[in-house]
Amino acid sequence: MHVHDSLVELMGNTPLVRLRKVTGGPSKDGGPQVLAKVEYFNPGGSVKDRIAVRMIDAAEESGALKPGGTIVEPTSGNTGVGLAIVAQERGYKCVFVCPDKVAKDKVDVLRAYGAEVVVCPTAVSPEHPDSYYSVSDRLAAEIPGAWKPNQYTNPQNPVSHYETTGPELWEQTEGRITHFVAGIGTGGTISGTGKYLKEVSGGRVKIIGADPEGSVYSGGSGRPYLTEGVGEDIWPETYDRDICDDVIAVSDKDSFLMTRRLAREEALLVGGSCGMAVVAALRVAATAGPDAVIVVLLPDGGRGYLSKIFNDSWMEDYGFLPSSTEEARVDEVL
């Protein structure tokens, strides 16, 4: 019988799918190819399954996480789901701490997996005892057997991508990959995958970060943006500042319009950071040679964004939904 004993076995090994419509036509022969690494095929629905299992494996090995222990992490989304899946299989409890700006649906998903979720006020400074940083630190100290993975400082975050995402891409493209494009949040994806691809190709593969306009990675000051999961106002330890050959800033509007096009034209119902990364990949393709093989990583699926990016009134409220003439202009720009 072909049976898996656990969903954890199914983490990683996601498919690579050629983009054909948003690129302006099939690009199999002639012209650069743009290939999407579709991470919603992971059992938890996102790229974060990869880091969840690696961080837990390492904590078990080091003894930081003991049988029956509790995982405490400030997370509102994808990382929480990945941690909850691995925790269930291995008998750990999960306590996630989220700011109250997080959509109720996201909190409900974490609770559905059996996690406890503590919601904290957003409108306080990080040093305030009620902030979600302080509360997660306090819970990690108070709960017996608690362990805090901390995806922003945990070296296993980039290591998971060095060991899985990078080798998968090298194998899937038979060593023909020329560019790797990914959004930067903790920086784990781009730093680990980028390091592997640079090493295996002798520095040939170009690594390009995609960043929401306003975030520090593309020279911003941390100004707010709406694209979720990417961009920062601080520099996390998990980001290797030397890894990127270039970082491309993308506006929320361009990211969200491309996210909608991916659903309508490529049947890829994905999140906003995916649209952002594809805009960056198409900018790379515009100046790349005909033999370029550009891989863009799409971190998660689009169901978590139905009331925002895929909702016309929400898009109109922010001035993101263009008239038909504007849509034509966006096509031209890309």
Residue 259 lies near ligand PMP (rule: CB under 6 A): no
* 18: phi then psi, degrees, rounded to nearest 5: -75, 130
Residue 166 lies near ligand PMP (rule: CB under 6 A): no
Q: Which of 299, 302, 305, 321 binds ligand PMP (CB under 6 A)?
A: 299
Where does the chain have alpha helices with state H?
48-62, 78-90, 104-112, 132-142, 156-160, 166-172, 188-200, 252-266, 272-287, 312-317, 324-333
Residue 252 lies near ligand PMP (rule: CB under 6 A): no
Q: How far is CA 257 from CA 36, 271, 295, 320, 332, in A?
A: 17, 11, 20, 8, 13
Q: Among residues 21, 28, 48, 148, which one is catalytic?
A: 48
Nearer to ligand PMP, 40 or 69 (CB): 40
Where does 113-216 have alpha helices with state H?
132-142, 156-160, 166-172, 188-200
Q: How far apart are CA 195 and CA 191, in angstroms?
A: 6
CB-based closest residue to ligand PMP = 229
Let me know if 48 is a catalytic residue.
yes
Nearest-5° angle of CA 143, CA 149, CA 150? 110
Residue 231 lies near ligand PMP (rule: CB under 6 A): no
Q: Which of 45, 149, 188, 212 binds ligand PMP (CB under 6 A)?
A: 188
Q: From the CB of 215, what's the least distance to ligand PMP, in Å?
A: 11
Nearer to ligand PMP, 252 or 300 (CB): 300
Using CB under 6 A, which residues numbered 8 to 67 contact ligand PMP? Answer: none
Nearer to ligand PMP, 23 or 78 (CB): 78
Q: How far apart are CA 172 and CA 135, in angstroms?
A: 43
Residue 183 lies near ligand PMP (rule: CB under 6 A): yes
Q: Residues in the site for ligand PMP, rule: CB under 6 A? A: 77-78, 183-189, 228-230, 271, 273, 299-300
Residues belonging to the active site: 48
